[in-house]
Amino acid sequence: MAEENPLDGSAPKHYGVIGLLFSSASLSVIASALIIYTLADGTIDFFRSEEASIFEFITSTKWVPNGLNPSFGIWPLLSGTALIAGGSLLLAIPIGVSSALYLSEFCSNRTRKILKPLIEVLSGIPSVVHGFFALLVISPIIREYFDATYFNAASAIIVVAAMILPIIVSISDDAIRAVPREMREASLALGATRWETASRVILPSARSGIVASVLLALARAVGETMAVTLAAGSVASLHLNPMKETQTLTAYIAQVATGDIPPGPATDAGFAVGSTLFIMTYIANLFAIRATKKKFGNSKNYSVGYLISKLMLKFRYFRNIESNISISSNLIEPLSPNQYDLKRRSREKYSVFLIGSSFSLGIIFLLVLLQTVIESGINGISYNFLTNFPSSRSIRAGIGPVILGSVYLISLAILFALPSGVGAAIYLNEISRPSKINFFLRRTIQNLAAVPSIIFGLVGLVVFSRLLGFGLSLLTGSLTLAMMILPMIVVTSEEALLAVPKGFRDGALAVGATRWQTVRHHVLPNAIPGIATGTILSIARALGETAPILFVASIFSKTAPSGILDGFMALPIQIFFWTRHPKQEFQDLAASTILVLLVLLIILNLIALFIRNRAEAKRTW
């Protein structure tokens, strides 16, 4: 009998699984195609109409969609968007990055365990709630101290900054903690203080993660709709004055979605505005990718963060120009500090104090917001409120069917998005080798992640509701939301996979495991805490998301959906309409509804946090 040759035969190929993973990764291409179809089709219709022309759209500085003599010039909406997004990033980047640095490098493990979830709570607070807070709390304060109008950009800027802060903190913190310990030791062993180590070695090393966080934050700020719609107003004019009323691209589309704009060219203009928004985010993304590529050929394609870390280095150079002390003096008396060392030590002290106090800003914001909502909402909570349907009489109004609508909506959306999102991340990061297809898929997902949420609303309306005939239904709403959170789940899952040490993969491959077996047994189990973090953020976001379903929710629905093709109402939509109501009683109903929404979010977060903390405690690498 011939002896068996170990090199004969072949390893399992796992065609089925890999095929599934590949399809998951390709879903983003389909989603992108649907977006482009929707926008292009609607935009063409708009420019075909008699009232509109491309020339006017690009050159005119007047945006007056209604009336006898409408004018469609995009510049006022562009300036509004730039004002809000720019202002909020200006606030959130320094606060966010220093908070992350403080959390990961300077506070004790126990403090960190309390503080980090607290900041993450901010991201779980839906944008419509921030809108409520901006309009009914911040705006009055601003009006008292500045010469501001009832609706003003400043109040929107502040809440948008608070909204994007946790994105920056949470993801930057993960990235900073992923910097290998050797890097810290190398720096400390050279006589760097902990502050110098943190700011010059850790921060630049964590660059890719920090940039990822800033990009996500930028996308969210530009695409932020509800808070801006509520707080900044609906008058589009060309200015950059934060004390005045302004309208963003997204806010206009929301105005269309709520039916405040009569049908006709003004409504069709929503698609042209959507296209503009889409092209803007696409170009910004392209720039971001280009700029980093030059310096870091094979590493991840991020740019904004690279620029920031460069800038921060520059900053320090300017500040330290005056000193020029020779090191040879150390050799005479190496252990006693010279003038410059004392300065370094005191700089360390006040730097840490500074980042610590900027960290507390986020916490203070959160506490004030919660206090306001509880104060004005707690009295409205009753059994009747939780079970009745939304009535136009404030005494009888309740949110029973609205709660159920939200729960169904989110459960379906996660069911659609989670498996395909994680599948796509695994395919891109673990299975496929660098290739044109991989590159294309990755680029598509990056772009999809930057698409503002209100645009998904347009797609849901055109594709799921009209084209596929699902109507204004639960199915349409959840598919729309799933599309929106898909790239978020892919991006965070990929980060989690990347954080698993390469040695685990090598070890498994070296004993003859296939790639899929390696992933299945050694990579995925260790990436689960990270994936859970991403999923928490996604669920929270979907539950509080208003913009994409603003088009398809049934505002007058009085019962909960009993099938997936029924109409539905969701908590954030209800909050939006009640907040806008001029009467105080309805604004208080909005506060009560916010309380209910927040309790749901807290329960969800506690579950997910529990899972994550347990996994982190178990982690040995």
Partner 1 sequence: METKKIRVKDLSVFYGDVEAVKNISLEIHEGSVTAFIGPSGCGKSTLLRSFNRMNDEIINCSTSGEIFWLEKNILGNDIDPVLLRRAVSMVFQKPNVFPTSIYENVAFGLRIQGIRDPEKLDRKIESSLRDAALWDEVHDRLHDDAFSLSGGQQQRLCIARALAIGPSVLLMDEPTSALDPIATAKIEQLIHELKEKVTILIVTHSMSQASRISDQTAFMYLGDLIEFGDTEMIFNSPVEELTGQYISGRFG
For the record, the structure tokens of 291 come out as: 């700029």
Q: Are 152 and 177 in contact (CB under 8 A)?
A: no
User: Which one, 174 or 268, has the nearer CB to partner 1?
Assistant: 174
| Secondary structure of residue 330 in the 3-state scheme | helix
Shortest CB 189 distance to partner 1, Å:
4
Estimate to the nearest angstrom the gap between the alpha carbon of 585 and the chain centroid: 32
- Amino acid in the structure at residue 176: I
Query: How is 453-487 classified by DSSP, letter by letter?
Result: HHHHHHHIIIIIIIIS---SSHHHHHHHHHHHHHH
How far, CA to CA in Å, does 169 sit from each of 40, 105, 362, 397, 519? 36, 13, 10, 39, 29
H helix intervals, 378-434? 383-387, 400-426
User: Which one, 191 or 262, has the nearer CB to partner 1?
Assistant: 191
Task: Report, in angstroms and rounded to the nearest whole number, the Rg of the chain calculated over CA atoms.
Answer: 26
Shortest CB 316 distance to partner 1, Å:
9
Shortest CB 206 distance to partner 1, Å:
10
Distance CA 447, CA 490 (A): 12
User: Which one, 2 or 189, has the nearer CB to partner 1?
Assistant: 189
User: If we measure between CA atoms, which residue out of 112, 452, 431 comes closest to residue 273?
Assistant: 452
User: Which one, 179 or 221, has the nearer CB to partner 1?
Assistant: 179
Shortest CB 168 distance to partner 1, Å:
21
Query: How is 242-263 classified by DSSP, letter by letter?
Result: TTS----HHHHHHHHHTT-S-S
Burial class (CB in 10 A: 0-12, 13-18, 19+), 409: buried
Q: Are 597 and 567 in contact (CB under 8 A)?
A: no
Shortest CB 116 distance to partner 1, Å:
17
User: Which one, 304 or 524, has the nearer CB to partner 1?
Assistant: 304
User: Which one, 323 or 360, has the nearer CB to partner 1?
Assistant: 323
User: Which one, 62 or 300, has the nearer CB to partner 1?
Assistant: 300
Shortest CB 203 distance to partner 1, Å:
11
Shortest CB 611 distance to partner 1, Å:
25
Shortest CB 600 distance to partner 1, Å:
37
Shortest CB 442 distance to partner 1, Å:
22
How far, CA to CA in Å, does 588 sit from each of 139, 196, 390, 545, 550? 17, 49, 14, 20, 21
Shortest CB 320 distance to partner 1, Å:
6
Q: Are 514 and 552 in contact (CB under 8 A)?
A: no
User: Which one, 184 or 522, has the nearer CB to partner 1?
Assistant: 184
User: Which one, 37 or 296, has the nearer CB to partner 1?
Assistant: 296
User: Which one, 328 or 620, has the nearer CB to partner 1?
Assistant: 328
User: Which one, 335 or 617, has the nearer CB to partner 1?
Assistant: 335
Shortest CB 314 distance to partner 1, Å:
13
Shortest CB 324 distance to partner 1, Å:
6
> Where along the sequence are the contacts to partner 1 (CB under 8 A)?
109, 180, 182-193, 196, 200-201, 204-205, 317, 320-321, 323-328, 330-331, 334-337, 340-341, 344-345
Backbone angles phi, psi at 63, to 5 degrees: -120, 95
User: Which one, 2 or 321, has the nearer CB to partner 1?
Assistant: 321
User: If we measure between CA atoms, which residue out of 483, 498, 499 comes closest to residue 421?
Assistant: 483
User: Which one, 345 or 558, has the nearer CB to partner 1?
Assistant: 345
Shortest CB 430 distance to partner 1, Å:
22
User: Which one, 306 or 416, has the nearer CB to partner 1?
Assistant: 306
Number of Cβ within 10 Å of residue 288's Cβ equals 23
436's enclosing H/E stretch is helix 436-449
Contacts of 379 (CB under 8 A, 6+ apart): 588, 592
Shortest CB 389 distance to partner 1, Å:
56
For the record, the structure tokens of 543 come out as: 């539950």
Q: Are 377 and 546 in contact (CB under 8 A)?
A: no
For the record, the structure tokens of 299 come out as: 């590493």
Estimate to the nearest angstrom the gap between the alpha carbon of 202 and the chain centroid: 24
User: Which one, 186 or 599, has the nearer CB to partner 1?
Assistant: 186
Distance CA 5, CA 471 (A): 62
* Secondary structure, 3-state, 112-170: HHHHHHHHHHHHHCCHHHHHHHHHHHHHHHHHHHCCCCCCCHHHHHHHHHHHHHHHHHH
Number of Cβ within 10 Å of residue 617's Cβ equals 8
Shortest CB 107 distance to partner 1, Å:
13
